[in-house]
Amino acid sequence: MTIDVTQALLKDLINKRTKDQYICFLGEVMEHVGIEKYAYAYVPFEITEASNITVVGNYDQQWVRKYKQEGYHHIDPVMRYSRRTSEEFFWDEIPVEKITHDRIVYEESAKYGIEQGFTIPIHDAGLAFSTINLAADGDDTTFPGKISRNLPVLKLVTAYAHQYLQAEKSCHLLNVLSSQEKKCLAWIASGKTYEETGMIMSIKERTVKFHVKNCMEKLDCVNIKQVVARAVRLGILG
């Protein structure tokens, strides 16, 4: 990628404001770099949310659906290694002992032309992390060179991917709870029981439970501890 093209792309990036605009931009960058297959993946920090992994890019959609349905991110050597490192890596650099028992993901992805690749991880709060995954056919000898020549731009694009694709989701969640739901959750988070919260708010205990249940559903959580942790992380409870 020439300096002029790089500067033009980065200038264009600054003007992006929405998720859809960024996704289009991501495709343009990959086209300029010469990367045929790419995907941004985000794994939430709550372990029980892992099935809600987000995947955006141009990977074959049949493969993406299978990957998510089978929960392959739990055993995928690339994702497991990404969870443990903040350094970018070529897939063939993953220690052999970490992929011996999990080759099924490699074997399945190869059916969709994903045989070699490069990943840039970005770690969020807690256990959350995201990755930009660039892939190619196994016989593409130009792939490593494309990565090496364009690494600074690819790393910058990865950072912005996390900003655009996750910040938009978080902003939406900030306003998803009603005033009463936030108050109930805040009192529960402070250590009050359902009964005590009801007395403080002058509502029935079952109403408190109803509001808390709504909080869990809206924030995609399965218990009180999890919903409180997520609400705090998103800034809903301050």
pLDDT above 80 (res 215): yes
**pLDDT score, position 159:** 73
Contacts of 199 (CB under 8 A, 6+ apart): none
**Annotated domain spans of the chain:** 3-170, 175-234
pTM for the complete prediction?
0.67
Looking at the domain that runs over 175-234, which CATH code has it been given? 1.10.10.10
Residues 86-130: pLDDT tens digits? Answer: 899 999 999 876 555 568 899 999 999 999 999 999 876 556 788
Among 22-26, 43-47, 132-136, 176-180, top mean pLDDT goes to 132-136
Query: Can you give the C-alpha Rg of the chain in angstroms?
Result: 21
Of 198 and 70, the structure prediction assigns the larger pLDDT to 198
Query: What beta strand segments (E) does the chain contain?
Result: 37-43, 54-57, 89-90, 116-123, 129-136
* Mean pLDDT, residues 46-65 taken together: 77
Q: What angle do CA 24, 151, 73 make, to 5 degrees?
A: 70
Residues 139-198: pLDDT tens digits? Answer: 999 999 999 999 988 887 887 776 666 655 555 566 778 999 999 999 998 889 999 999
**pLDDT score, position 226:** 77
Place of tokens 């790419």: 38
With beta carbons less than 8 A apart as the criterion, state whether 121 and 86 touch. yes
CATH class of the domain defined by 3-170: alpha beta
C-alpha separations of 222 from 51, 68, 185, 209, 228 in Å: 13, 20, 14, 14, 11
Backbone angles phi, psi at 53, to 5 degrees: -55, 135
How far apart are alpha carbons 142 and 125 in whole angstroms?
36
**pLDDT score, position 217:** 83
Look at residues 176, 156, 154, 165 and name the one whose alpha carbon lies nearest to residue 220. Answer: 176
Look at residues 57, 55, 54 and name the one whose alpha carbon lies nearest to residue 27. Answer: 57
Two structure tokens written together for 32: 């300029």
Look at residues 59, 18, 58, 230 and name the one whose alpha carbon lies nearest to residue 128. Answer: 230
How far apart are alpha carbons 212 and 185 in whole angstroms?
6
pLDDT above 80 (res 33): yes
The residue length of the chain stands at 238
Which region holds residue 27: left if phi is over 0, alpha if psi is between -120 and 50, else beta?
A: alpha
How far apart are alpha carbons 210 and 208 in whole angstroms?
5
Residue 26: which pLDDT band, with cuts at 50, 70 and 90?
Answer: confident
Per-chain mean pLDDT for the chain: 82
**pLDDT score, position 156:** 78
**pLDDT score, position 163:** 64
Look at residues 168, 131, 153, 155 and name the one whose alpha carbon lies nearest to residue 56. Answer: 131
**pLDDT score, position 162:** 62
**pLDDT score, position 49:** 45
Contacts of 10 (CB under 8 A, 6+ apart): 153, 156
Residue 223: which pLDDT band, with cuts at 50, 70 and 90?
Answer: confident
